[in-house]
Amino acid sequence: MRISAIVLAAGAGRRFRSTAGKRFKLLKAFYPLKSRPMFLYSLDILSASKEICEIILAVPSQWVGRIRRRFLGKKYSPKVSAVVRGGKARTDSCQSAFKRLDPKSTHVLIHDAARPLLSSKALAKLVSVAKKYDGAILGKRVVPTIKQTDRSRSIKLTVSRENMWEAETPQIFKRGLLEKAFAQYKKNPAPILDDAALCEPLGAKIKIVENPTPNVKITTFSDLRLAEKILANGASERWGIGFDVHRLVPNRKFMLGGVRITGKFGALGHSDGDALLHAVTDALLGAAGLGDIGDWFPDTNKRYRGVPSSIFLKRALRSVKELGLAPVHLDTIVHLERPKLKQFKEKIRSRLASLLSMRKSQVNIKAKTHEGLGSIGKAKAVAAEAVITLGMENG
């Protein structure tokens, strides 16, 4: 299965604009949600899925240039392969994105950029169901009692909730099915409510996958506030601690936090001996309940001899994200007599932030000497401690 994802960010956001008042200056999907543009949350989740090979973003025509410059092939979202001009109607945007699909992709996933809370768990479930059918969409059982009225709001009918679902995105379809659906639409371009509705008349077998996680569609400004609250709730779910110590010896490279430290000594170790990255990796694994670095990357394994420790951290981060979690804060202490860490601190901070897909402001480095006491004080060893906080993956 090879999925091309289409992320729709071309909506005018009229209701959002009217409820946001003067605050609204941006396109809705680019409005900051906890100080990050809303659409980046979806891009993160989609990018992390191994089945998704590319992401095509549909935005209003006046935004295409700006978004291309900022987000195409950049560190934010390496899987974005194209930014296309969206149309007035949802299906028009989908069609213009469809033209740019990777010829090898077998399935197409369509997602609203205005649903930033999509969880990787829900996405993984959707993808696995989509393998067995013509298509699959996320949804929730209808819980409220639904009344149908006439125009004067007189109740005509209480609708049975049985087998009633609220449709969400993402929605995944076989590529050929969507192609046929678009051809039908061309003949009769009636407005449709979602992408499944386009495929349903073709007799396709499309399943609903129940999504237990919040997947709010940001329509009004208060939806944005609600999403912020949901993100904040997940922010301090789990903590993990990590510690590591390495001997300092001559003629070894000295790596700390993925940064080369210049000096006479380097850290002895099976890998590159990066005590700080090992401590952070352990903290990450610990917070997610995934054991420790020795379980994952034993120093008896020749594969890890001399490797950069960033590969351990990246691997651990991937597993943490698969659990629907992501780091929201990291604090560290490096115990080192010399060289003085001061000149390297900012560089280490940036490097750790980038390795963990965090902002620099979420990462802190503290350095301590041991006043000449013990092996660290005598500059025979370096030690590092880390405390990491994990929140829900979108946090």
The binding site for Mg ion (CB under 5 A) comprises 244, 278
DSSP state of 194: S
The two structure tokens encoding residue 71? 């987000």
Residue 59, number of CB atoms within 10 A of its CB: 27
3-state secondary structure 136-180: EEEEEECCCCEEEECCCCCEEEEECCCCCEEEEEEEEEEHHHHHH
Closest separation in Å from C-beta 275 to Mg ion: 6
Tell me whether residue 112 or residue 244 sits nearer to Mg ion (CB atom).
244
Tell me whether residue 277 or residue 365 sits nearer to Mg ion (CB atom).
277
Closest separation in Å from C-beta 285 to Mg ion: 13
Tell me whether residue 277 or residue 341 sits nearer to Mg ion (CB atom).
277
Tell me whether residue 172 or residue 255 sits nearer to Mg ion (CB atom).
255
Closest separation in Å from C-beta 270 to Mg ion: 8
Closest separation in Å from C-beta 335 to Mg ion: 14
Closest separation in Å from C-beta 134 to Mg ion: 50
Evaluate whether 290 touches 303 at the Cβ level (below 8 Å).
Answer: no
Closest separation in Å from C-beta 355 to Mg ion: 16
Tell me whether residue 293 or residue 365 sits nearer to Mg ion (CB atom).
293
Closest separation in Å from C-beta 340 to Mg ion: 22
Tell me whether residue 117 or residue 279 sits nearer to Mg ion (CB atom).
279
Count of all residues that appear for the chain in the document: 395
99 CB burial (10 A radius; 0-12, 13-18, 19+): exposed
Q: Distance of alpha carbon 385 from its chain centroid, rounded?
A: 26
Tell me whether residue 174 or residue 278 sits nearer to Mg ion (CB atom).
278
Residue 338, number of CB atoms within 10 A of its CB: 11
Query: How many C-alpha atoms does 21 have within 13 Å on its Cβ side?
Result: 1
The two structure tokens encoding residue 341? 């860490």
Closest separation in Å from C-beta 296 to Mg ion: 12
CB-closest chain residue to Mg ion: 278
d(CA 236, CA 249): 39
Evaluate whether 331 touches 393 at the Cβ level (below 8 Å).
Answer: no
- The residue assigned the tokens 């390297």 is 344
Evaluate whether 238 touches 390 at the Cβ level (below 8 Å).
Answer: yes
Evaluate whether 218 touches 224 at the Cβ level (below 8 Å).
Answer: yes
- Determine the angle formed by the axes of helices 342-355 and 310-322, rounding to 10 degrees: 40
Residue 150, number of CB atoms within 10 A of its CB: 9
- The residue assigned the tokens 């906080």 is 389
Tell me whether residue 283 or residue 392 sits nearer to Mg ion (CB atom).
283
Closest separation in Å from C-beta 299 to Mg ion: 8
The two structure tokens encoding residue 126? 């959707």
Tell me whether residue 5 or residue 267 sits nearer to Mg ion (CB atom).
267
